[in-house]
Copies of this chain bind each other. A is one copy, B any other.
Amino acid sequence: MSAAEQTLHEYLELMKKMKAYEEALGVLYWDMRTGAPRKGLEQRSEAVGVLSSELFRLGTSERMGELLAALSEPSVFAGLSRIHQRSVEENKKEYERSVKIPPEMYQKYVVLTSQAEAVWEEAKGNNDFAMFRPYLEQVVDYTKQFVELWGYQENKYDTLLDSFEPGMTVGQLDKVFGELRDRLVPLVAAVAEKKPPNTSFLSRKVPKERQKALSEYILKEIGYDFQAGRLDATVHPFATGLNPGDVRVTTRYIEDDFKNSLFSTIHEGGHALYEQNISPELIGTNLCTGTSMGIHESQSRLWENMIGRSREFWERYYGDFQRMIPEFSDISLDEFYVAINEAKASLIRTEADELTYNLHIMIRYELEKLLINDQLKVADLPEAWNEKYKDYLGIVPPNDQLGVLQDVHWSGGGFGYFPSYALGNMYAAQMMHAMKQAIPSFDEHVRSGSFGPIREWLTEKIYKHGRVLTPSEVIRNTAGAELDPSFLTDYLQRKFSEIYKL
C-alpha cells in the first residue's frame, strides 16, 4: 500500500467505527421512543452519554484532523474516487465546525438546551412565555456566538441554513419564499371565502387494529420493504435509518382521527423509501443518509401529499379502504377526497394542511432571520409572531401556547431548520413535474397502484446517491434546473382551484 492508500484505509476504518457508534445510538434512541420502560431511562441516558462522547471524540480527534488534511492535499484528493472525495469533503466540513467551538462552551450549551427544552415544555403548558424567555435569550446568544466562530459571508443566518440545507442562502430563500408568499396568500384568502367541505365523518371512531392494518397495507403498497424495516406506534411519528437494511417508521393511532395514522405512515414511509434505497456501496460511510433535511422532507411530502392525497391514489385505494374501514362505507370517494384535502388557516403548524403549511414556515423563517441579525429581541417575539399570523393567515393566536410557544425547535437551538419543511414542498413539486414528464403514464401508474416505476425513477435520480450529491445537484439531477417555487404554487393553485371550484 502507498502512503496515500494507507491514509485512506485508516480514514475509512475510522469512519466505519463512527458509523457503528451512530448505528448503536440510533437503536438506543429508537428504543427509548418506542417503549423502553420509564424506570430504566435514567440509566439508559448514561449509555447514550458514553457512546455520544466517544463518537464526538472520534470525529474531532487530532488523528481525524490529520487524516482529513492528508486526504485533502490536492494531489491526493485528485486520486480519490468520487465517493471518497465527497466523504472527505463532508467530514472536513463537520470537523471544522466542531473544532471551532471550544469544548467547555459546547458543554455549557448542551446543558443549557437540555434545561431550555424542559422549561419550554412547562412554559407551553402554563402558557407563560415570560418563563421561557430568559432561556431562549441565552440560546439565541449562543447561536450568534457560534455563527461568529464558524464565520459567515453575506448573512449570519446563511451559516445556520447551511447546517441543514448545504449551500442554501438567505438571498435564495428570500427570493423563493417571496414568490411563494405572493401567490399563496391570495390563494389561501380565496379558499377561505368558499364554503368549507363536510369533514365531520373524518372523526368517526376507527379501532386501532384496523388503522394498523391499513397503515401496514399502504406501506407495503408504496414499496416499503418490511424485511428492511418495521412499523411501531409512538406519540410523535418518526422515521430512522439505521442502515439501508433497517429503516424504521412509527405512526400514531388516534381512534377518532384515523387520517392522522394513515398520513403519518405515508409521510414517514416517504422518508423511509429514501433511506432504504441508498446504494449499498455507501454503507459504512458518512454519505449513507439523505443529503439534506429539505431533500428528505421532499420525499415525505411527495409521498404523503402529492401521491397519498391525490385523486388518482384514492381511485385505486378507496375500495380497499372501505373494505378495511367499514366505518366509511356510506361516504363517496368524492366526499372523502375533498375532506382529506380541506384547506383552512389554522394556528398550529403540525396540524396545518398542504396549502397553508408553507405560510407557517415562512413566518418562522422571517422571525429567525430577524433574531439572528439583531433586528428583533426575544422579548418582542410574541407580538411579532402574532402580527405575522395576522398578515399571512388572517388569524391571530389567542395566546402564546397556540402561538410562539408551540414548537420545540428553538429551545434546542434548531435555528435554520424550519425552512427545510417548505423547501421540501418546493423540491417535491418540482420533482413531481419532472417525473411526470419522464414517465408519461405516471397518473395511470398511481391509478393502478403500480409504484415500481415511480420508486425506480426516484431511486435513480435521488435515493441511491445518498449524500454523494449535494441538495442543489439533486434538484438539477431530477429537474434539470435550480430550485423554482413556481412548480409548487402552480400545483397548489391547480389542485385547490379544482377542489374549491375557484
Query: Is A37 interfacial (CB 8 A cutoff)?
Result: yes
Query: Is A39 interfacial (CB 8 A cutoff)?
Result: yes
Question: In the complex where A37-B227, A227-B38 touch, is A246 in contact with B44 (Cβ < 8 A)?
Answer: yes
Query: Is A23 interfacial (CB 8 A cutoff)?
Result: yes
Question: In the complex where A39-B225, A283-B43 touch, is A24 in contact with B24 (Cβ < 8 A)?
Answer: yes
Q: B229 contacts A46, CB within 8 Å?
A: no
Distance in Å from the Cβ of A438 to the closest Cβ of chain B? Answer: 29
Number of residues of chain A lying within 8 A (CB) of chain B? 40
Q: B284 contacts A39, CB within 8 Å?
A: no
Q: Which of A27-35, A121-129, A456-464 has 4 or more CB atoms under 8 Å from chain B?
A: A27-35
Q: Which of A47-55, A103-111, A378-386, A493-501 has 4 or more CB atoms under 8 Å from chain B?
A: A47-55
Query: Is A102 interfacial (CB 8 A cutoff)?
Result: no
Q: A43 contacts B245, CB within 8 Å?
A: yes
Query: Is A242 interfacial (CB 8 A cutoff)?
Result: yes
Query: Is A74 interfacial (CB 8 A cutoff)?
Result: no
CB proximity to B under 8 Å, residues A204-252 = 225-230, 242-246, 248
- In-complex Cβ contact of A46 among B23, B35, B44, B50 (8 A): B23
CB proximity to B under 8 Å, residues A294-336 = none
A42 contact set on B, CB distance < 8 A: 245
Q: B283 contacts A37, CB within 8 Å?
A: no
CA distance A31 to B248 in the complex (A): 12
- In-complex Cβ contact of A39 among B31, B54, B228 (8 A): B228
Query: Is A36 interfacial (CB 8 A cutoff)?
Result: yes
A242 contact set on B, CB distance < 8 A: 40, 43-44
Q: B23 contacts A284, CB within 8 Å?
A: no
Q: A43 contacts B230, CB within 8 Å?
A: no
Distance in Å from the Cβ of A404 to the closest Cβ of chain B? Answer: 35
CA distance A245 to B32 in the complex (A): 13
CA distance A438 to B41 in the complex (A): 36
Nearest residue (CB) in B for A38 is B227
A435 contact set on B, CB distance < 8 A: none
Q: A246 contacts B16, CB within 8 Å?
A: no
Query: Is A344 interfacial (CB 8 A cutoff)?
Result: no
Interface centre among A21, A43, A44 (most CB of B within 10 A): A43
Distance in Å from the Cβ of A149 to the closest Cβ of chain B? Answer: 30
- What are 15 pairs between A and B in contact, CB < 8 Å? A20-B47, A20-B50, A21-B50, A24-B51, A27-B47, A37-B229, A37-B248, A38-B228, A38-B245, A39-B227, A40-B228, A40-B243, A40-B246, A43-B284, A44-B246
Besides A31-B31, A43-B245, 17 more A-B contacts (Cβ < 8 Å) are: A16-B50, A20-B49, A23-B44, A24-B24, A24-B47, A35-B230, A37-B230, A38-B227, A38-B228, A38-B245, A39-B225, A40-B228, A40-B244, A40-B245, A40-B246, A42-B245, A43-B243
Residues of A within 8 A of B (CB): 16-17, 19-21, 23-24, 27-28, 31, 35-44, 46-47, 49-51, 54, 225-230, 242-246, 248, 283-284
